[in-house]
Structure 1
Amino acid sequence: MKLFKRSALALLILPASLMAQAENITVFAAASLQNAVDEITEAYGKIDSKDHIESLYDSSSNLARQIEQGAPADIFISANQSWMNYLEEKNLIDNPTRTNIVKNELALITYKENPTEYKVEFASNEFWKDALAKTHIALGDPDHVPAGLYAKESFEKLGVWKTVEPRVAAAQNVRAALLLVEVKEADLGVVYSSDASVSEKVKTVTTFPADLHEPIEYPIAIMKDRASEPVEGFYKYLLSDDAAAIFKKYGFAAPTK
């Protein structure tokens, strides 16, 4: 498990009555959400400063498995339905709180200085063979990372996965795939459009047609037996119009109603 950000906790000498009201809220969120959730957390802190919010970001698969093993998450936001289903089937989420919070799309990216002008033919094995002849394509691990699963699904539907697969550089989460392109370890990568929008080191070649993969929806839920007034307060704020504006700023779209 890779910890990308954990908020600092200050030791405060407060009256017992105030200490009783403070709570640590732990959010496990898909790596692609890091910039947005960090800013939302900061905004919420200006409204409710007594509670401490800790955020841990990684692939949805790794986070779900950590929760299964007893990690003390209060709120989980997954980058696909499958890993939320995984926890629901194990009776680890508060089912009534499950809802979709944002949606996303897949982008084919390259590093900003790449002089190659790709004329993408998604369904052409020859295009992918030529484009990847001397390089790799970075994906979240297509065995379990949602971004990689969506990419694999798209390539399979296009009939080019057997050409692409040998050139895949599998990463532990989508931000790690983004990094591989940023540092030019791979000329191409498939990430979410939101990831491409926050990086100054990559550019989007094109986006994948939405009908090539399952809808990229991010479900959110409070974990089983973790509901409390502070947890519910931040959960509701994540679903608020203020939070939606921040998500939009970072390239996410509102969920389909």
Structure 2
Amino acid sequence: MKRLVCTLALMLLPLPGLAGQVSVFAAASLKTALTDVATNWEDQTGHDVTLSFAGSSALARQIEAGAPADVFISANTAWMDHLEQLGLLHQGSRADLLGNQLVLIGPAGAAPLALDDGLVDALDGGHMAMALYQAVPAGIYGKAALEFLGLWSEIAPHVAQADNVRAALALVALGETPLGIVYRTDAQAEPKVSVVATFPQNSHPPITYPVAMLADTRSDDAQSFLDYLSTPVAKAIFQRHGFTDPPQSN
């Protein structure tokens, strides 16, 4: 099998889709779990998956600009809504795939922290790592949670923004920042960090990962891969990596 996990920059060339090959644009937080799911699908079908991971906002903008992709998985509904409003989704293919939790992380072995006014003191002159809070879902959720808790105005001057949630995770894992806001699945994937607090679910919009096939897909296998994402086998892999069922729509 020749699955390629590549960066967004490599997806800018307008290559045509091929039979037996599926190009997937997916939120950075899915990297570990979706790579395992794709490997299973490849082993079962003999076909190839190309996975490109980045912030949902960057991926959606590249799709809007014409970057070739067959399937898109966003870490929030807003960017999928954006593409749907532009008519870029295959009609009827959109579905809510997964859910997640928002957590505060510190270095491995760090003691639990209270989500209160002492959070700035816990930074000890350092910064709070977050994904871009005006564009990337993890950052948007994080800002909303801090606003709900009345902490945003105090924390905002100390935020170190990263292009995506995995980049924010890396800042804490490498010791560049003492704390960071990521998804629970990201923390689970990185042994160099520990969860020190979990944000209340009502402190931010529901964390929902919608998936859809793109309207201009040329892959004969995009629908097959899309269907596989909701099978019991794929769901078990996602759950093993810490993902949950998607939140129930109101």
The verdict on a shared fold, with TM-score over 0.5 as the criterion, is: yes
AA of the residue aligned to 1:203: S
Classify the secondary structure of the residue corresponding to 1:5.
Answer: strand
Per-residue CA distance 1:84-131 (angstroms, 9 max, x = gap): 0111111111131111111001010001154xx3441x2x33x12312
1:33 corresponds, among 30, 51, 62, to: 30
Tell whether the 8 Å contact from 1:154 to 1:213 is kept in structure 2 after alignment.
yes
**CA shift in 2, pair 1:172/1:23, >3 Å:** same
TM-score (norm 2): 0.90
Map of 2:191 onto structure 1: 200
Map of 1:71 onto structure 2: 67
Aligned: 1:144 with 2:135:
yes
RMSD: 1.7
Per-residue CA distance 1:168-190 (angstroms, 9 max, x = gap): 01000000000000011100000
Map of 2:209 onto structure 1: 218
Classify the secondary structure of the residue corresponding to 2:92.
Answer: helix
TM-score (norm 1): 0.87
Aligned: 1:5 with 2:5:
yes
Q: Which moved more, 1:153-162 or 1:185-194?
A: 153-162
Shift of 1:227: 6.5
Query: In 2, Cα distance between the equivalents of 1:158 and 1:152?
Result: 10
Aligned: 1:239 with 2:230:
yes
Query: In 1, Cα distance between the equivalents of 2:24 and 2:112?
Result: 39
Larger Rg: 1
Q: Which runs of 5+ in 2 are unaligned?
A: 8-17
Map of 1:24 onto structure 2: 21
2:41 corresponds, among 23, 39, 44, to: 44
Classify the secondary structure of the residue corresponding to 2:39.
Answer: helix
1:83 corresponds, among 68, 79, 84, to: 79
Number of aligned pairs? 235
Query: In 2, Cα distance between the equivalents of 1:6 and 1:152?
Result: 29
Query: In 2, Cα distance between the equivalents of 1:227 and 1:23?
Result: 10
Q: Which moved more, 1:160-169 or 1:225-234?
A: 225-234
Over the matched positions of the two proteins, sequence identity in percent amounts to: 40
Q: Which runs of 5+ in 1 are unaligned?
A: 8-20
AA of the residue aligned to 1:99: A
Query: In 2, Cα distance between the equivalents of 1:59 and 1:240?
Result: 25
Query: In 1, Cα distance between the equivalents of 2:50 and 2:247?
Result: 28
Query: In 1, Cα distance between the equivalents of 2:48 and 2:42?
Result: 8
